[in-house]
Structure 1
């Protein structure tokens, strides 16, 4: 016996209307400027820590690089407290942005330390 073909009954599609949330441009710009200020302060701290790390590495004979690396990571872990001492409101800071700040701090501090302990820029 032949099978009957199933007929597909088309159901009317539900109409979906996208309604965007209200966007406050002024708040967005102010928050972005605030994050830029924090980023600038973190980079200045990274330059200072990198130079101090290079000086420590140069002065201490065998294990100076370990001390400089530990100092860089210690300052990185305490960035929230340092920024709070500098009167930045840490409740306004997004976690993703601070993660980027942490990584940039480590890259810049350790990079400058490595750069300054080598020959052309030897401190």
Structure 2
């Protein structure tokens, strides 16, 4: 028996056209400036917490207390920012994760720096 030939019929391809969403440059710049302000406040707060932790370590030797204080303040950062009149609803979660990591690294780094000489004699 002879096989039937299959006819290949090309289906018309749908044309896809990308339409970008509206981009508000002013809103983007204002939000970026706002996140930079939050970043700077968190950096200053981390330096303060690091110095307080170093003072605690130098006078009592309780390094674990300085570490706990750093982690507690990190957990309370959104409440602290709210108390400083920052709008917490405008903060993006991925940016805040970066801010949490920055806070921990900077606070613990400053604490370690000021525990060792030559800074230990100053505090």
Q: Note whether the superposition's TM-score is higher than 0.5.
A: yes
Deviation at 1:3, TM superposition (A): 6.7
Unaligned runs of 5+ in 1: none
The 3-state SS of whatever aligns with 1:40 is: helix
| Cα drift, residue 45 of structure 1 | 0.1
Structure 1 residue runs of 4 or more that deviate by more than 6 Å after TM superposition? 1-5
- CA distance in 2 between counterparts of 1:26 and 1:92 reads 15
Aligned match of 1:27: 27
Calculate the aligned-residue CA RMSD, in Å.
Answer: 1.6
Using the alignment, how far apart are the partners of 1:7 and 1:14 within structure 2? 21
C-alpha separation between the residues in 1 aligned to 2:63 and 2:5?
A: 77
In 2, Cα distance between equivalents of 1:34 and 1:69: 29
Aligned to 1:40: 40
- Cα distance change of structure 1 residues 120 and 5 upon mapping to structure 2, 3 Å threshold: farther
Alignment map for 1:5-84 (pairs within 5 Å): 8-61=8-61, 64-84=62-82
Q: Call closer, same or farther: CA 1:10–1:118 in 2, change over 3 Å.
A: same
Q: How far, CA to CA, are the matches of 2:6 and 2:53 in structure 1?
A: 76
Counterpart of 1:97 in structure 2 is 95
CA gap 1:71/1:5 in 2 versus in 1, 3 angstroms = farther
Unaligned stretches of 5+ in structure 2?
A: none
SS in 2 for 1:10: coil
Taking the aligned partners of 1:95 and 1:111, their CA distance within structure 2 comes to 24
TM-score, normalization by structure 1: 0.91
